[in-house]
Structure 1
Amino acid sequence: QIWQGMPPFADLPALNAWLEARCIERWSELSHGVLPGSVAEVQARERMNLMPMGRAFDGFVEHTKRVSPTCLVHFESNRYSVPASFANRPVSLRVYPDRLVVAAEGQVLCEHARIVERAHDVPGRTVYDWRHYLAVIQRKPGALRNGAPFAEMPEAFRKLQVQLIRRPGG
């Protein structure tokens, strides 16, 4: 009965919100069947005796990866940037369904949205965070000119980049 007259939804969270509201609505209409009262009334009485919820399970699969000299970790044919200070060092890659978290030395270094490609004929992609390469610019200022990580900087930094390149020796 819940699915009859179901409207279209833009995404899964919208469907879940609608479904939750419909279920709660139906609980007050349905009798419990074993205990006296509706499902909502029985649930309200039972709630007083329930233990509080524990913290949410942090469900990830962990891999040990070595960061490449170009400050990238590889996962499922894709490459993700890591702060330059961790180049050529081992890190922990925590794989969640929707994101990747890179950790080392007891702290989270960075997080990227996970790329999930179903087709095997699609080439891997590289995800950069330009902030991971700021230490590289200090040693190699020319990297700012043509470096792939700096192609996606915010507009204000791109203007600064153009100004610096126009200077003598820039």
Structure 2
Amino acid sequence: MTGFLPENPGVIKVNQVAEIRRLHFVEKATVSELAKQFELSRPTIRKHLKTLDDPVYPLRKLQPHPKLGAFRDQLKSWLETDARLPVKRRRTAQRLFECLQAEGYAGGYCAVRRYVKAWKQAQSSSPPVTQAFVPLYFPPGETCQFDWSHETVVLDGVEQVVKVAQFRLTYSRQMFVIAYPRETQEMVLDAHNQAFDFFGGVPKRMVYDNLKTVVDAIFSGKDRQFNRRFLTLANHCLFEPIACTPESGWEKGQVEKQVCDIRSWLFTLTPKFDDFAGMNAWHTQRCRELTARAHPEQTSRTIADCFAEEQPLLMPVKAVFDGYVEQMRRVSSQCLIRIERNRYSVPAQWANQAVSVRTTANRIRMVADGQIIADHPRHFGRDQLICDPWHYLPVLEKKPGRCVMERHL
């Protein structure tokens, strides 16, 4: 039997079966000649001489993964560890594959994916739920989707949960993410300013959940009462706000998927930063780096290529929106205003009077008679005193013991 390859059911093709039968029955080629020509065993040739239908090969239920063998225990240990974590902090199969590569794994991703899928199915007794959706088409420059996510990071050595504003242009899939300590309205306004600056323009429509900082009231159908301050932002930037139907996340499915992807790409394992500025600078850099990935629909192009096409079609940003939230507060007799459990100083002449407080993502400004009378960096701790000694000069001129304060000036 020398000169013959071992039988391999995956080698034979439908057109080869037809050719074998034609050469034998029409050209009178012998079984040995056909075996040499097609590099198959003679029993295989005889079998296909009797074949009239398409060949059917049984599928293996268990795929051998020899390269994964030495890493199965490690992969199983990671899956068991992740199973005890909240769902949003568990690693995806892709992330586990990258971690295995760091350990020296030289195999393919499919082996890891099959193992992870089989392990999860073995842990779950209920069958997976499948849903069907209608594909959507988005012209370039038209639509951007927005959502919040909660992620775990280590800031200045302390593990904490941060709120991440996520934007996604639906045509190019260009993303932008920025983290804040809270989800308040001034954070929403600032996030839009940062996103439009990153994109270099404004899309015609913005799609949201019915979050309270954007929507004040939900009526029937798509009718909404949008927040007045948020509408000021929309009127300034000229985009149309669109609110999804409640509990219908598929209406902004791209950013919903991005939340899961970003969690895997940027927040597992738990990243460490010195402060929010360093974290957001790194996020911006990663958003640019991820544009080198292939576009999910236009697979021959990258996200960067599609964004280069979409960016000129965005509406230009003519002026940055002053994203503050305003409220009236009374100044105490100690020339202080309490804001979110912190106290900020105000010039002494405004003691016991009402002034306007304008809160932005990173500043606290006090306004009276149309003028800014105090401007402080915003603090997010509790029971802190943010004081400008110059605000107390008129008091020091009249009150005894002023020399004690003057030493601090």
TM-score (norm 1): 0.66
Q: Separation in 2 of the partners of 1:117 and 1:31?
A: 42
Counterpart among 367, 379, 396 of residue 137 in structure 1: 396
Gaps of 5+ in 1: 119-123, 154-170
- Encode CA deviations 1:69-120: one digit per residue, 9 max, x unaligned: 33222334443211112122210112334432111111111122344346xx
Check the 8 A contact 1:61/1:95 in 2, yes or no: yes
Equivalent in 376, 383, 388 of residue 112 of structure 1: 376
Instruction: Write the deviation string for residues 31-55 of structure 1: whole angstroms up to 9, x where unpaired.
Output: 3524862211111122222211254
Give the stretch that moved more between structures: 56-65 or 1-10: 1-10
Query: C-alpha separation between the residues in 1 aligned to 2:399 and 2:407?
Result: 15
- Alignment of 1:20 onto 2:307: no
Q: In 1, distance between residues paired with 2:273 and 2:384?
A: 30
Which of 285, 296, 302 is residue 38 of structure 1 equivalent to?
A: 302
The answer on 1:126 being equivalent to 2:396 is no
Closer/same/farther in 2, CA of residues 43 and 71 from structure 1, 3 Å limit: same
Give me the whole-angstrom Cα distance separating, in 2, the residues matched to 1:33 and 1:25: 19
Q: Tell whether the 8 Å contact from 2:294 to 2:300 is kept in structure 1 after alignment.
A: no
Greater C-alpha radius of gyration: 2
Q: Which residue of 2 aligns with 1:11?
A: 275
If the length of structure 2 is used for normalisation, what is the TM-score?
0.31
One-letter code of the match for 2:392? Y
Is 2:351 aligned against 1:87?
Answer: yes
SS at 1:53 equivalent: coil
Question: Which has more helix, going by share of residues?
Answer: 2
* Matched residues, number: 145
Give the aligned residue type for 1:87: A
- The 3 A distance-change label for structure 1 pair 81 and 151 is farther
C-alpha distance in structure 2 between counterparts of 1:28 and 1:125, whole Å:
44
- Percent identical: 35
Partner amino acid, structure 2, of 1:41: D
One-letter code aligned to 1:127: I
The 1:70–1:16 alpha-carbon spacing in structure 2 relative to 1, beyond 3 Å, is closer
The RMSD of aligned alpha carbons is 3.1
Flag the 1:75–1:20 CA change in 2: closer, same or farther, 3 A. Answer: closer
Amino acid across the alignment from 2:333: P
Worse overlay, 90-99 or 79-88: 90-99
Cα 1:59–1:137 change in 2 (3 A) is: same
Amino acid across the alignment from 1:137: L
Contact in 1 for aligned 2:363/2:378 (Cα 8 Å): yes
Given that 1:36 and 1:42 are in contact with CA atoms closer than 8 Å, whether structure 2 keeps it comes out as: no
The answer as to whether partners of 1:136 and 1:143 remain within 8 angstroms in 2 is: no
